[in-house]
Structure 1
Amino acid sequence: MKDKLNIATWNIRTLLQKGKLENIKQEMERMKLNILGLSEVRWKGAGKITSGGHEIIYSGGTESAKGVGIIVDQTVTKAIKGYWALSDRVLLVKIAGKPVDLKIIQVYAPTANSNDEDLDKFYDELDTAKTQCKSQDPLIILGDFNAKVGTEKVDDIVGKHGLGIRNERVEKLIE
């Protein structure tokens, strides 16, 4: 695997549209991305597929809604050691590295219209995913948290360069 990885996340709204996966792969190449976290994939079930040298690992539910995924380019494909599809909102992927492995968690949090129980369940699933990571392994959490952090600085957690007005979902994110 490479010494330097370019990593991003994107709420793609759906992968059910014809040609959408090809567009995403082209954007990865254009942006020189090695790893791209995907929110709102909307694929059913969980698994991994290969498409043109890219590997897509996904975790969805029983319906074509929500869903998360991680797509990696050919430089990272062979380094994938495993994945854990926790739910249609949380996916953990383990990538081999030296001297330690890299763990990536991709998330798609409930929207502001969702109830508190759904939000609590999501953060419980995220906590479960984090417990699967050794403390010495680097951990990257990507995704759409459906929280607006606003422009107000909060300690060392939220900087002043956010957008919009803070919403109530940010409080749970900051916790």
Structure 2
Amino acid sequence: MEMDIRSLRVSGNLENAKVEIERLGIDIEGVSEIKWTGVDDYWSDGYRDIICSEDDRRIAGVAIILKKEWGRRLKAILPCNEIILMVKLEGEPMETAILQVYMLTSCHAEEEIEEVLGQVKGKENLIIMGDWNAIINEGKEGRTAGNFGLSKRNAKGERIVEFCNEKNMVLAHILFEQH
């Protein structure tokens, strides 16, 4: 699951995020727009918090919060910049690479994502989550996109569908109806 909380710098927001993670039964949470500076990896309240932002202006930033079990499986942290963070987790039968992305409303270079994807080995399970500032609806698109988006697809949404088609990926959040 991905969460955009508008700043982890505000007192209590990180704790509130963890309360929601617990309430929803989520093990791994991606967070966008954290407005943090620096790269941190620490344990708090039974969670491993991995925060990444090289954004001195504090307008972007991404984080991944792992429950204890997953935090112990952390194999690598690959901070990229203020909009992309990848972690690799030990797993069976294969390792998992998780990519958290925050695409600002202005167009950010897709080459950055392509470069990061080059670090994923063929036998790793890849999960990409984040805030793409895109609307994807307008009906089923092969096995890539389902019928359950929210409104008319915009240009960024069109590009994400194309990207997923090129990479043989699925937009899981619109494959089923949300309650």
TM-score by length of 2: 0.85
The one of 9, 18, 25 equivalent to 1:16 is 9
Q: Deviations over 1:55-107 (max 9, x none)?
A: 11111122211111100011111110111111111100000112321110000
Moved over 3 A (4+): none
The DSSP-based 3-state class of the residue aligned with 2:92 is coil
The DSSP-based 3-state class of the residue aligned with 1:75 is helix
The DSSP-based 3-state class of the residue aligned with 2:15 is helix
Coordinate RMSD, CA, aligned: 1.3
**Is the 1:151–1:159 Cα contact (8 Å) retained in structure 2?**
no
Equivalent residue for 2:70?
76
Equivalent residue for 1:162?
149
**Is the 1:80–1:95 Cα contact (8 Å) retained in structure 2?**
yes
Identity %: 34
Q: Give distance in 2, aligned partners of 1:129 and 1:137.
A: 14
TM-score by length of 1: 0.87
Which ranges of structure 1 fall in alignment gaps of 5 or more residues? 1-7
The one of 21, 39, 44 equivalent to 1:51 is 44
Q: Give distance in 2, aligned partners of 1:158 and 1:101.
A: 25
The one of 128, 139, 144 equivalent to 2:115 is 128
Q: Give distance in 1, aligned partners of 2:111 and 2:44.
A: 32
**Is the 1:90–1:105 Cα contact (8 Å) retained in structure 2?**
yes
Match for 2:60: what amino acid?
A: K
**Is the 1:56–1:72 Cα contact (8 Å) retained in structure 2?**
yes
Match for 1:47: what amino acid?
A: D
Match for 1:15: what amino acid?
A: L
Equivalent residue for 1:97?
91
Cα distance, 1:150 vs. partner? 2.2
Cα distance, 1:153 vs. partner? 2.4
**Is the 2:35–2:59 Cα contact (8 Å) retained in structure 1?**
yes
How many pairs align? 161
Match for 1:149: what amino acid?
A: I
Equivalent residue for 2:131?
144
The DSSP-based 3-state class of the residue aligned with 2:10 is coil
Cα distance, 1:21 vs. partner? 0.8
**Is the 1:106–1:142 Cα contact (8 Å) retained in structure 2?**
yes
**Is the 1:39–1:144 Cα contact (8 Å) retained in structure 2?**
yes
Q: Give distance in 1, aligned partners of 2:126 and 2:9.
A: 29
Match for 1:126: what amino acid?
A: I
